Structure 1
Amino acid sequence: MTHPAAAVALAGRSLRISRRSPEALITALMLPVVLMLIFVYFFGGAIDTGTTYVTYVVPGAILLCAGFGAASTAVSVTEDMRNGVVDRFRTHDIGGIPILAGHVTASVLRNLISTTLVLTVALAIGFRPQAGPLGFLAAAGLLLAYITAISWLAAVLGLLAGTPEAAGGFTFLMMFLPYPSSAFVPIETMPGWLHGFAHHQPLTPVIESLRALLLDRPAGDAPWIALAWCAGITAVAVGLAGILFRSKTR
């Protein structure tokens, strides 16, 4: 079996496994929606963003959604490494990268579904994007690059973890990163000592780019910075994943 065909087949396997755990799937789909509703209706009236709060918060909610989706990728990679299924795959001459690419592909597909759900709910509660076709296409491309990067990073964390519980713990950082960024409040409202990190961490240019593209506003150089972060994270994560997989399956 060729590497692309193996990755597609293994992605289908990961999606079928997701269907067998509907509680986890529903949680991953609904939790970002619930958090968005909490921010909009509980805290939005107290936060001045210069626009309606739902308009401001949607890009952050989308990335928060991607973080929850990536957490399940780390857990599923760890489970495969522990239960012996990887050894069976290797007897069919399937290497580590196709195995992990199957998990990543499934993560991307799950995240696209959950992102669609978040956007649907956002539209229902007042989000009104102003982008034209090219703006939506650019936003979708950037989001795809980010989801791919964070999914490969989750695969690395899954390889590092010894248990599924530890894998879930390792991914806490990815779910936490949207908070010290411009996702939910303007960075200028944060304590001064936090400004440097919030401005220069990878999620801020992704969020600012999505916000500008969806609302048809000037994006400056934020999309290029965001794409550079995504490309760098993906390249490093794929390299580390290959090294870790080989070391754990000798």
Structure 2
Amino acid sequence: MHMKQLISDVRTMSLRRLKISIRNLDTILTSVVTPSLMMILFVYVLGGSMHVEGMSYVNYIVPGILIQCIGQCGSNTAIAINNDIKSGIIHRFYTMPIMKSSILLGHIIEAFFRSIVTTMIILGIAYIVGFRPDMQVHNMLLIILLLAMFILMISWMSILFGLLAQGPEGAGACAVFISILPYLSSGFVSVDSMPVALAVFAKYQPMTPIIDSLRALFMGEVFYIQEYLLGMMWCVVFIVICFGLSQVLFKRKLQTS
């Protein structure tokens, strides 16, 4: 009975958020425009001076652009949950006979589908500017799994940022750093070409194994399962941490409001 009610409530909350996103298409546009412009800038303005062994520069940077795009989606998620709390609609939901966990899950599911849509749009734009993947079916399945886990990680991190922030502006600003991390990884240049201190950070930060795994899978290169599993491990760890903290903060924020 509880599971049936939870599924029904989550569906209702997800549809609510999806309808809001459809009515406000700027939430998708803002997630697409910046990564698209950066990709065009890097490919057509800087790409001529960038030399990557074994592949074109556009093929090299697309995984990093995808990660940046998902990070931009996370900023919108943080703003959305913060707006819901500030507007008082969450408190109204909390007094209704619904499963309380469905409120956050509705935001997560909407963010997941919105991130998928924007990712597909970015891939389409990347193809127009010259991106040519060379992968087999099993590579595609591994890419989908890794991107799905990364989207869930960013979504829960964004929920946490939205709950921590005092206002929508702060929520968006907190989540922006996620879209900056690809620049400090192997997303746009090789880690080996960076200064020593920056190279150490880039090598061991969570984005690098995720981006490197996506690049190898997209381009049919030598695939290192350890690197892929490391990227998955980072996603799982952050999902668990952010999920737990979000539940605690959500209950505390409602009780003290």
TM superposition score normalised by structure 2? 0.93
Contact persistence 1:67–1:174 (CA under 8 A): yes
Q: CA RMSD in A?
A: 1.3
1:223 matched residue in structure 2: 228
Q: How many angstroms apart in 1 are the aligned matches of 2:249 and 2:100?
A: 9
Moved over 6 A (4+): none
1:59 matched residue in structure 2: 63
Contact persistence 1:97–1:241 (CA under 8 A): no
How far the C-alpha of 1:95 sits from its partner, in A, is 4.5
Say whether 1:81 aligns with 2:85.
Answer: yes
2:254 matched residue in structure 1: 249
Q: How many angstroms apart in 2 are the aligned matches of 1:204 and 1:54?
A: 17
Q: Secondary structure at the match of 1:218?
A: coil
TM superposition score normalised by structure 1? 0.96
How far the C-alpha of 1:22 sits from its partner, in A, is 2.7
How far the C-alpha of 1:219 sits from its partner, in A, is 2.2
Percent same amino acid among aligned pairs?
Answer: 34
Q: Which runs of 5+ in 1 are unaligned?
A: none
2:239 matched residue in structure 1: 234
How far the C-alpha of 1:93 sits from its partner, in A, is 3.3
- Most deviating of 1-10 and 237-246: 1-10
Render the CA deviation track for 1:139-167: whole Å, top value 9, x for unaligned.
01100100011110000000001100010
Q: How many angstroms apart in 2 are the aligned matches of 1:93 and 1:199?
A: 48
Q: Which runs of 5+ in 2 are unaligned?
A: none
Say whether 1:36 aligns with 2:55.
Answer: no
Amino acid at match of 1:134: H
How far the C-alpha of 1:12 sits from its partner, in A, is 1.4
Contact persistence 1:66–1:111 (CA under 8 A): yes
Q: Report the count of equivalent residues.
A: 250
Q: How many angstroms apart in 1 are the aligned matches of 2:103 and 2:50?
A: 44
Contact persistence 1:108–1:147 (CA under 8 A): yes
- Most deviating of 215-224 and 148-157: 215-224
1:159 matched residue in structure 2: 163
Q: How many angstroms apart in 2 are the aligned matches of 1:82 and 1:96?
A: 17
Give matches, 1:90-169, under 5 Å.
Answer: 90-169=94-173
Q: How many angstroms apart in 2 are the aligned matches of 1:21 and 1:121?
A: 22
Q: How many angstroms apart in 1 are the aligned matches of 2:12 and 2:194?
A: 46
Q: How many angstroms apart in 2 are the aligned matches of 1:6 and 1:29?
A: 30
1:22 matched residue in structure 2: 25
